[in-house]
Amino acid sequence: MRRVAIAAILVAGEATLARRPGCDVMESHRSWATAEERGSDTPLPGELQDIGAAISWVLERAELGRLLAERARALADVDGVVFYVWDEQHAVLRLLVADDGKNSSPGAPEIRSGEGVCGLAFARGEPVVIEDYPSWEHALPWAIERGIRAMLAVPLLLGERPVEAMAAGYYSHRPLLRDTVQALALMGRQVGPALEAARLYEAERTARRAAERSADQMARLQAVTARLSGALTPDQVFNVVVEEGVPALGADAGVVVLLSDDGGWLEIARTHGYPPESLEAWWRFSVEAPVPLAEAVRSGEPVLIESRRARDARFPALAEGLRVDDGALVAIPLQLAGRAIGALGFTFGEPRPFDEQDRAFVLMLSRQCAQALERARLYERVQQEHEEHKRADAERVQLMLEKAERARLEGVLLAARTMAHHLNNSLAMTVGYGELVADDPRLPADLREMALEAMRGAQEAAATVTRLQRIARLEEASAPIGVGSSHTVLDLERSSKPL
């Protein structure tokens, strides 16, 4: 739970103790110079009533802080006021509002409880005054550089319990009147309940938003699960993760990188929302590179960076080489059985905090992505093996057909050789005798013509036997009339042509 602590310090919310250099803290009951001796600036009761009326309707903590800073400057005639909010989870005071009338940079974004004027007023629940800030031994250099010369802080109380702290600062040395301290202390008692109410309102609103965000993330996670269940290839898995992950996190862009087979490189597998020119140097980069994705893979832990300043301080390579969004970023490892296989990355256009709910969501998303990717790879292997089996079966069938064809061809050639062995001599004798008879002058002309025809038939029969011996393949043709429609015969012309 976050507990509000508003602390105001000129320009940046610092504080250190002591009314004089060497005096650490002024007790609330300390006797100050009389109003006649130091002058009087006691506000009218109506001024405090006006402040109470002005803040009674304000529930936004930042708006309440701005209003109180403005009223505190007018009430105590100070140069600047700064408000801090207590972050109980991290035990620091975080800057909420700074008002010095110059719109200058507020300084340190956070301080610790007990540190400086603001931290000490909050920690001890009593006013802290420094009339000569530059001479004070605990003065912070950056505050001196900004021209702070005197400081005053008072606790803002809920009953007797300090729940906020308020400090004011001056750009010139001056004695701080008791009435000024008392006026701000009275204001602190008056506005403490309003600030606590604003804290409670913000806590309730934050809890409601967290519940709504949790419900939205669960719905999106279910959508991711449903889509991933139908993703059959790694490409389909990558598409689902970046297309669903980017809106689920409220990110501007997303990327998936995979570890190379040798484990030395990360290679972009899919991007969404990045301009192509911003990724030119990052399609393949070393797993040892000083960037969030590589660190997530090396460490096996998510890398959550809330702002550009934090990102550039931790990963200067991004500030120098990779043009990405100026806000937060997330890098989550993809792991299977404790082994890194890649990472998911998401970037945001604005700074944003990440809580345990966000961490749990991105880890769940990465686990689902890794499992779906493994299923897709397994499916691809099964499909590949199936195709390989089909090719192997087809090759076996083709081999069997070729063997059967060769067996048939060998049978035909055997028959041809057998025919040649039995017929060649007989056909040679038939051709020889036919020539003798045809050439005999005693043979009548009509018989000579028949003898020549018989001789030609014997020669064609011999040629057919020779062609049968030269058959290289079996090419069939329809049977001639009279052989039977259910039979085929060899097409000697095509079967005997060279391959």
pLDDT of residue 38: 39
Closest by Cα among 312, 352, 345 to 328 = 352
Average pLDDT over residues 320-348: 80
Confidence category of residue 162, pLDDT binned at 50, 70, 90: confident
Q: Is the pLDDT assigned to residue 423 strictly greater than 60?
A: yes
State the average pLDDT over residues 236-260.
Answer: 85
Q: Is the pLDDT of residue 479 over 70?
A: no
Of the given ranges (13-17, 404-408, 420-424, 436-440), which has the lowest mean pLDDT? 13-17
Residue 4 confidence (pLDDT): 33
Q: What's the rounded Cα separation, in Å, for the pair 305 and 330?
A: 6
Q: Say whether pLDDT at 337 is over 80.
A: no
Which of the pair, 274 or 138, is modelled with greater confidence? Answer: 274
Rounded CA gap, 264 and 285, in Å?
A: 9
Give me the pLDDT at residue 26, please. 41
| Domain at 236-354: CATH code | 3.30.450.40
Stated as kind and residue range, the H or E segment containing 185 is helix 178-229
Average pLDDT, the chain: 75
Taking only the tens place, the pLDDT of each residue in 31-57 is 333 333 334 444 445 666 677 666 767
Number of H helices, E strands in the chain: 13, 14
Partners of residue 117 on adjacent β-strands: 15
d(CA 140, CA 26): 19
Fold exhibited by the domain 35-205: Beta-Lactamase (3.30.450)
Say what the pLDDT of residue 1 is: 33
For the stretch 86-123, pLDDT in tens is 777 778 888 788 887 665 555 567 888 888 888 888 88
Q: Give the C-alpha separation, 94 to 87, whole Å.
A: 7
Task: Specify the pTM.
Answer: 0.49
pLDDT above 50 (res 21)? no
pLDDT at 147 over 90: no
Strands 303-305 and 329-336, how do they pair? antiparallel
pLDDT confidence of residue 486:
60
Question: Would you say 123 and 113 are in contact if contact means Cβ atoms under 8 Å apart?
Answer: yes
CB neighbours of 190 closer than 8 A, spacing ≥ 6?
A: 48, 51, 52
Where does residue 13 rank: exposed (0-12), middle (13-18), buried (19+ CB within 10 A)?
buried
**Burial readout 269-278 (b: 16 or more C-beta within 10 A, e: otherwise):** bbbbebeeee
Q: Range(s) for CATH 3.30.450.40 in the chain?
A: 35-205, 236-354
The stretch 365-393 carries a mean pLDDT of 80
333's tokens: 């490892």
Q: Which residues of 326-337 are buried (b: 16+ CB within 10 A; e: fewer)?
A: bbbbbbbbbbee
